[in-house]
Amino acid sequence: MKKLVSGFLLIATLITLGACHKGQASKNDNKLEKVTFVLDWTPNTNHTGLYVAKEKGYFKQAGLDVSIVQPSDGDASTIVASNKAQFGISAQDSLAANYVSDKPLPITTVAAILQHNTSGIISRKGSGIDHPKGLEKKIYATWDSPIEQAMIKDVMAKDNGGDFNKVKLIPNTIVDEPLALKQKQADAIWIFYGWGGIKAGVDNVALDYFNFKDINPVFDYYTPVIFANDTFLKEKPKTAQKFLAAARKGYEDAIQDPKAAATILCQEVPELDKNLVEKSQVWISKQYQAEAKQWGYIDSTRWNAFYDWLSENKLVAKKIPKNTGFTNDYLSE
């Protein structure tokens, strides 16, 4: 009987301690500073480091309660500019229009997710589009963006005088690039290789591919990038630094162990194709930092070169001054 009473006392003590612990945890959580991060698209391996940082508690250790959300109304830039979210994802080419606007949104890029532009053109293998000039007389699915079409025109001209005017353009409403090629909805499509290219392999669709940056280095601009609200950066610089330091740890973990990182992303977003995520993660983990001295770093020469090219080719209304729109100041050493 004495042992039974002792057992009840032990259980009661554990329950009490557990309740206290939960209460303490809840109390500690209440002390965390809330930060909202808005993605550019549905979750994919560009975002893995963020989910790793959240799952492993790096944000909490930094004193942050981070919510990762998808854009529900408007794009990420307008959401962050309104301070409904403090951070978001975009791309350097997409942000150019903002910096020539008479009333630019108050946002600044603070980190590069990938060190290099991994986008290019895919086509069915053997269809002759393994180089830019091969696009002549072929069907290309376009977003009808002046910058997009000017880049294709540029790389075609550099390939033995390829003529962009000979490309047959159709609207790009494609969501599954490998399937679209297989069904001959188009002959060529712009993709980001780390997802669309890897998916073609997973789906057993043989393809040809060329990178824009391999033909003209000025197209090695930054995409995707993390940007932040300017008022937030000014008022809470240490919060921004803590967020980026935690995100960096998440991306560094993904570099070191792509398989474990892919598992975390699939746990967080179970509707993703696990096979695709695992293969994409192996490929893209090598792109997060590449040869840069640290994850997130933005090289001013490459950043400025692309914006200068936009100006020289009259793709923006006015010249974008050097070093506009980005900073490395919030990255940890």
- State the Cα–Cα distance between residues 73 and 67, nearest whole angstrom: 17
pLDDT tens, residue by residue, 76-104? 999 999 999 999 999 999 999 999 999 99
Under 8 Å between Cβ of 140 and 152: yes
Number of Cβ within 10 Å of residue 316's Cβ equals 19
Q: What is the structure's pLDDT at 324?
A: 97
Rg (CA), the chain: 23
* Whole-angstrom distance, CA of residue 191 vs CA of residue 172: 11
Give the domain 119-219 fold.
D-Maltodextrin-Binding Protein; domain 2 (3.40.190)
Stretch among 15-19, 130-134, 225-229, 317-321 having the lowest mean pLDDT: 15-19
How is residue 166 written in tokens? 């000979």
The answer to whether 40 touches 89, Cβ cutoff 8 Å, is: yes
pLDDT of residue 72: 76
Rounded distance between C-alpha atoms, residue 17 and residue 11, angstroms: 10
Report d(CA 58, CA 61) in Å as an integer: 5
Which amino acid type is present at position 271? E
pTM of the model: 0.89
Q: Which of 21-25, 47-51, 311-315 has the lowest mean pLDDT?
A: 21-25
Locate all alpha helices (DSSP H) within the chain, ordered by sequence. Answer: 2-30, 48-55, 58-61, 76-81, 92-99, 146-158, 177-182, 198-202, 230-235, 237-256, 258-268, 274-284, 300-312
Q: What is the tens place of the pLDDT at every residue in 37-89?
A: 999 989 999 999 999 999 999 999 999 999 999 987 668 999 999 999 999 99
Which architecture does CATH list for 33-114+222-313?
A: 3-Layer(aba) Sandwich (3.40)
Residues 262-280: what's their mean pLDDT? 97
pLDDT of residue 73: 67
Confidence of residue 332 (pLDDT cuts 50, 70, 90): confident
Q: Would you place residue 5 in the very low, low, confident or very high pLDDT band (cuts 50, 70, 90)? A: very low
Which residue spans of the chain are classified as CATH 3.40.190.10?
33-114+222-313, 119-219
pLDDT of 26 reads: 54
pLDDT value at 254 more than 70: yes
Sign of CA dihedral 169, 174, 178, 181: negative
Instruction: Please give the mean pLDDT across all residues of the chain.
Output: 92
CA distance 267 to 306: 37
Cα torsion 197, 198, 202, 207: sign: positive
